[in-house]
């Protein structure tokens, strides 16, 4: 999975979250909930009581020192300013409707631009090309409700958006003394407001998301005039700094102008209807088909890239990743003569982070399909190249999937792009509705009777990876008793470790998937620690089907006819990384076949059954160790750190036992799930045998 959700977080911090940067976080002070603080706002006794940490008194004093009754007349706000992060600088603009919580924002940051909004029902996002997605995932909805609470100033006007308040006590930082209040808006999630007891103003807001905890500090409080002329002014923060704890990636926003009660168009907060017009198929074609290569359950396509100077490269092998954005490596960017900007933070499945820059690619060609003037992220993919045994030039994903209906035919090794208006779903398979979790499709389903929401990720080699919060909430280690602990993946941010077992049955909508290899992930950070999602479904499951993605209609289609039966787990118990013409042992499963034969991490595999790895090809060696039948004996020649060679006989076997489960918890649909379109149920999904 090459998930880089920091980009959505960045857009949020720059966009509507700018109200979190200016008014919002102060609104974040939102903590005021259903307490009637507004009525007491001008009470001196309430202000005095603030020193005792009473939420109502703290919020009443907050209103008093920022304008008191002047807030009662305000209806809308329009804010303009500048924003910077990761070496990039740009502008933002936001509109807010204080009575309803609706809001919208636009930003330009270097080559990156976009918009976000909340129409009162669901949040939406618009990418640099104009493509729009409605964000109906649980995390996006909770975040939008929190924003709406803050926009409505409901800490002073609780009738606009009820919430629960809780005093968390006092904190000291040097000479500064704070009282902290926790607020949970209706339908939202808890966040903290740190109130400065000396000034009565909010110093910061702290909010935990699915993966990260984000803190927004407020400063530079200024007077803003209100209408009509001569009316009392209000005070707003003109500076905000938002951080996930890594200071060099902080987002800094500075407001330059705030208009009070500007007129708004009737559709000011509705999702834009414009679609991207930067793509085409040759001639009058409605679809185009191209070959793919499968490596370790990953899908690769050949792509031609063109720079603005006229330079062209290709064909280049690029990973097709439904969990990823457009990416090129620094080497490809250099060969194309692309100018890069910024140093932004990239997070993925690993617990660490990496750095990326931004650039523009003039043209992307896949067979007869063309995309023009595309924003790409520039990031090294050395880890993927080492694991896959092939130089990877980059990644294609979300941007292509937004523009075309995409079919991945694993059995035929073909990928088809179809214009959305020319797509006929009649033969596509069983429809499975999805919502966007950021930029990734997420479907409602269950694993052995436990309901959850699962992302669909062609960029993951695994079958089913269950997130740590889901594993812990449902006591899955106690339920499955996994006997295997292993390194199971490698992506942006580093390695992934998990306990590995076989679940009895995974359901995705109405489709049943028997016996998926299942990873109970132990990561505390990264995408696989997201508490809003149950897990991630990767190529180990998807290759059992012919898979079609229809992003415009928010539908996934699964049809029989994949190239695999039940997925297998490495029968040698090894994780190998390519190093020249050798394979380096990155990890072994304790007690597994290779470890039992004496293979150790750090060993270099030089030959298999007497044939050099360079002659067989590293990919073929890995495939044999993973897929050769149980009982097969292979001889590995390895060289250890002491430079001595050893010939070791390894007998392949099934490392994972068949599932033996404790009783299932009853399945229930996630609280924000949308009603699903009726689909056939009660039937097994046919899968062909694994080709040998």
Q: Could you tell me which residue, 325 or 350, shows the higher pLDDT?
A: 325
Q: What is the pLDDT of residues 416-432, one digit of tens each?
A: 999 999 999 999 999 99
Read off the pLDDT band of 504 (50, 70, 90): very high
Beta strands 287-291; 112-118: pairing state? unpaired
In this prediction, residue 84 has a pLDDT band, given cuts at 50, 70 and 90, of very high
Reported as a single tens digit per residue, the pLDDT across 549-564 is 999 999 999 999 877 6
Q: Give dist(CA 537, CA 518) in Å, integer.
A: 10
Look up residue 352 and give its DSSP letter.
Answer: S
Q: What's the CA gap between 30 and 659, in Å, rounded?
A: 48
Q: What is the mean pLDDT of residues 34-45?
A: 32
The answer to whether residue 14 is domain-embedded is no
- 267-314 residue pLDDT tens: 899 998 867 789 999 988 999 999 999 988 899 999 999 987 788 998
CA distance 329 to 399: 17
In this structure, the answer to whether residues 226 and 306 fall within a common structural domain is no
Confidence check: pLDDT of 30 > 70: no
Q: Which of 418, 441, 467 marks a domain boundary?
A: 418
Read off the pLDDT of residues 379-390 as tens digits, 9 standing for 90 and up. Answer: 888 777 766 667
Q: Are residues 487 and 547 in the same domain?
A: yes
Residue 352: predicted pLDDT: 57
**Rounded to whole angstroms, how far apart are CA atoms 234 and 228?**
13
Query: Residue 151 pLDDT > 80, yes or no?
Result: yes
Q: Does residue 494 surpass a pLDDT of 70?
A: no
Both 498 and 584 in one domain: the answer is: no
Distance CA 347, CA 468 (A): 17
Closest CA to 124 of 18, 276, 9, 272: 272
Please state, rounded to an integer, the average pLDDT across all residues of the chain. Answer: 84
CATH number, residue 441: 2.40.70.10
Residue (of 576, 318, 570, 564) closest to 459 by Cα position: 318
Residue 383: which H helix or E strand, with range?
A: helix 382-388
| Residue 22 pLDDT class (50, 70, 90 cuts) | very low
pLDDT band at 52 (very low <50, low <70, confident <90, very high): low
Distance between first and last Cα of the chain: 27
Give per-residue pLDDT as tens, 477-490: 999 999 888 777 66
Asked whether residue 255 falls in the same domain as residue 120, the answer is yes
CATH assignment at residue 608: 2.30.42.10
Domain count, the chain: 4
pLDDT mean over 166-176 = 94
Instruction: Return the minimum-mean-pLDDT range out of 46-55, 103-112, 114-123.
Output: 46-55
Of the candidates 367, 348, 364, the residue with the CA atom closest to the CA atom of residue 356? 348
For residue 489, which phi and psi values (nearest 5 degrees)? -165, 165
Assess whether 410 and 432 both reside in one domain: no
Q: Are 535 and 472 members of one domain?
A: yes
pLDDT digits (tens, 9 = 90+) for 505-540: 999 999 999 999 999 998 887 778 899 999 999 999
| Beta strand ranges found along 174-270 (DSSP E) | 176-185, 191-196, 202-208, 213-224, 234-243, 251-260
Q: Report the residue count for the chain.
A: 692
Task: For residue 509, give the 3-state DSSP assignment.
Answer: coil
pLDDT at 544: 94
Cα separation, 677 vs 586, in Å, equals 45
**Looking at the structure, do residues 52 and 164 belong to the same domain, yes or no?**
yes
Residues 487 and 603 in one domain: no
Query: What domain range includes position 457?
Result: 424-560
Please check whether residues 305 and 437 belong to one and the same domain.
Answer: no
Percent of the chain with pLDDT over 70: 83
Residue, of 31 and 565, whose pLDDT is higher: 565
Classified as helix, coil or strand, 384 is helix
Specify which of 293-302, 441-450, 565-574, 591-600 reaches the highest per-range mean pLDDT. Answer: 441-450
DSSP secondary structure letters along 36-66: -TTTTTT-HHHHHHGGGT-HHHHHHHHHHHH
Q: How far apart are CA 367 and CA 506, in angstroms?
A: 35
Most confident of 14-18, 597-601, 615-619: 597-601
Indicate if 92 and 190 belong to the same structural domain: yes
Residues 150 and 27: beta-carbon distance below 8 Å: yes
What is the C-alpha to C-alpha distance for residues 514 and 442, in angstroms, rounded to an integer?
20
- Give pLDDT, residue 529: 86
């Amino acid at each position: 999975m090459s998930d880089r959700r920091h980009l959505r977080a960045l857009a949020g911090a720059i966009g509507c979250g700018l109200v979190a940067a200016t008014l919002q976080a102060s609104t974040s002070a939102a903590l005021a909930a259903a307490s009637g603080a507004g009525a007491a706002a001008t009470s001196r006794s309430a202000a005095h009581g603030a020193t005792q940490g009473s939420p109502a008194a703290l919020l009443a004093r907050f209103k008093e020192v920022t304008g008191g009754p002047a807030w009662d007349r305000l209806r809308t706000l329009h804010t303009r300013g500048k924003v910077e992060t990761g070496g990039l600088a740009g502008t933002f603009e936001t509109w807010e409707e204080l009575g309803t919580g609706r809001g919208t924002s636009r930003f330009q940051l270097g080559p990156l631009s976009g918009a976000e909004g909340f129409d009162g029902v669901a949040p939406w996002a618009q990418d640099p090309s104009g493509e729009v997605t409605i964000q109906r995932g649980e995390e996006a909805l909770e975040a939008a409700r929190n924003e709406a609470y803050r926009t409505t100033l409901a800490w002073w006007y609780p009738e606009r958006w009820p919430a629960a308040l809780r005093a968390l006590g006092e904190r000291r930082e040097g000479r500064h003394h704070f009282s902290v209040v926790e607020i949970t808006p209706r339908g939202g999630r808890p966040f903290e407001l740190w109130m400065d007891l000396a000034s009565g103003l909010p110093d910061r807001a702290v909010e935990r998301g699915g993966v990260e905890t984000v803190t927004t500090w407020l400063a530079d409080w200024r007077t803003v005039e209100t209408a009509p002329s001569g009316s009392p002014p209000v005070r707003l923060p003109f500076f905000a700094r938002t951080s996930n704890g890594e200071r060099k990636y902080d987002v800094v926003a500075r407001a330059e102008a705030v208009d009070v009660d500007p007129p708004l168009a009737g559709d000011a907060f509705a999702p834009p209807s414009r679609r991207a017009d930067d793509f085409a198929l040759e001639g009058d074609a409605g679809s185009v088909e191209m070959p793919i290569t499968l490596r370790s359950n990953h899908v690769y396509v050949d792509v031609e890239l063109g720079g603005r100077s006229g330079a062209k490269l290709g064909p280049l092998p690029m990973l097709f990743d439904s969990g990823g954005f457009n990416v090129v490596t620094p080497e490809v960017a250099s060969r194309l003569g692309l100018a890069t900007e910024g140093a932004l933070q990239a997070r993925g499945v690993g617990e660490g982070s990496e750095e990326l820059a931004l650039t523009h690619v003039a043209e992307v060609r896949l067979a007869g399909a063309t995309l023009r003037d595309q924003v790409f992220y520039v990031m090294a993919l050395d880890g993927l190249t080492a694991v896959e045994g092939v130089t990877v030039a980059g990644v294609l994903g979300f941007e292509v999937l937004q523009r075309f209906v995409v079919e991945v035919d694993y059995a035929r090794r073909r990928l088809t792009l179809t214009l959305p208006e020319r797509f006929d779903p009649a033969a596509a398979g069983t429809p499975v509705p999805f919502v966007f979790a950021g930029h990734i499709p997420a479907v409602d389903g269950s694993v052995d009777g436990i309901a959850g929401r699962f992302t669909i990720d062609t960029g993951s080699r695994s079958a089913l990876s269950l997130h740590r919060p889901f594993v812990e909430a449902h006591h899955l280690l106690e339920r499955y008793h996994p006997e295997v602990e292993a390194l199971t993946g490698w992506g942006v941010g580093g390695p992934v470790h998990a306990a590995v077992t076989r679940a009895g049955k995974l359901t995705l909508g109405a489709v049943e998937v028997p016996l998926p290899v299942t990873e109970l992930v132990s990561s505390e950070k990264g995408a696989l620690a997201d508490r809003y999602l149950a897990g991630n479904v990767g190529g180990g499951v998807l290759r059992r089907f012919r898979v079609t993605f229809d992003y415009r209609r928010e539908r996934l289609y699964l049809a029989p006819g994949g190239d695999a039966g039940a997925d297998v787990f490495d029968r040698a118990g090894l994780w190998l990384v390519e190093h020249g013409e050798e394979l380096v042992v990155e990890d072994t499963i304790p007690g597994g076949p290779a470890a039992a034969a004496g293979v150790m991490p750090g060993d270099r595999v030089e030959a298999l059954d007497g044939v050099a790895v360079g002659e067989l090809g590293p990919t073929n060696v890995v495939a044999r160790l993973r897929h050769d039948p149980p009982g097969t004996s292979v001889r590995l020649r390895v060289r250890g750190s002491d430079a001595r060679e050893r010939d070791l006989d390894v007998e392949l076997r099934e490392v994972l036992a068949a599932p033996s489960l404790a009783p299932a918890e009853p399945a229930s649909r996630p609280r924000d799930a949308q009603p699903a379109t009726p689909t056939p149920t009660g039937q097994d999904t046919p899968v062909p045998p694994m080709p040998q």
